[in-house]
Homo-oligomer: A and B are copies of this chain.
Amino acid sequence: MNATIYDVAREAGVSMATVSRVMNGNPNVKPATRQKVLDAMERLEYRPNAVARGLASKKTTTVGVIIPDISRTFFAELARGIEDIASMYRYNIILSSSDQNEQKELDLFDTLLGKQVDGIVYMGGEITEKHIAAFKGSVPVVLAATIDKTNMLPSVNINYEEAVYEAISYFIKNGHQSIAFVNGRIEDPINKEKLLGYRRALNENGISFDEEKVIVGDYTYNSGMQALQTLIDKDKDNFPSAIFVSTDEMALGVIHCAQDNNYSVPNDIEVIGFDDTRLAEMVRPTLSTVVQPMYDIGAVSMRLLTKLMNKEKVEQQTVVLPHQIKYRHSTHER
Contacts and interface: CB of A to CB of B under 8 A. Distances in A.
Contacts of A279: 279, 282
Contacts of A70: 70, 76, 79-80, 83
Interface in A293-315: 295
A94 B256 CA distance: 38
Nearest to A48: B114
Interface string A48-74: 111110110000101000000111110
B94 A92 contact: yes
A97 interface: yes
Contact of A71 (B69, B77, B284): B77
A172 interface: no
Given A92-B115, A115-B92, A282 B284 contact: no
A245 to B, nearest CB: 14
Contacts of A51: 51, 54-55, 60, 115-116
A268 interface: no
Contacts of A73: 71, 73, 76
A278 interface: yes
Contacts of A221: 278, 281-282
Contact of A79 (B71, B87, B92): B71
Nearest to A58: B51
Given A51-B54, A73-B73, A62 B97 contact: no
A111 interface: yes
A252 interface: yes
A97 B51 CA distance: 22
Contacts of A54: 51
Given A55-B55, A114-B47, A282-B256, A80 B87 contact: no
A259 interface: yes
A115 B259 contact: no
Contacts of A284: 256, 259, 284
Interface centre among A69, A76, A83, A284 (most CB of B within 10 A): A76
A56 to B, nearest CB: 9
A252 B47 contact: no
A163 B281 CA distance: 29
17 contacts: A47-B113, A50-B114, A51-B54, A51-B60, A55-B55, A62-B115, A69-B80, A70-B70, A70-B79, A71-B76, A71-B80, A72-B76, A79-B95, A93-B96, A94-B94, A259-B284, A282-B283
Interface of A: 47-52, 54-55, 60, 62, 69-73, 76-77, 79-80, 83-84, 87, 92-97, 110-116, 221, 249, 252-253, 256, 259, 278-279, 281-284, 295
Given A70-B79, A92-B111, A95-B95, 8 more contacts: A51-B54, A51-B55, A73-B76, A84-B97, A92-B115, A221-B282, A279-B279, A279-B282
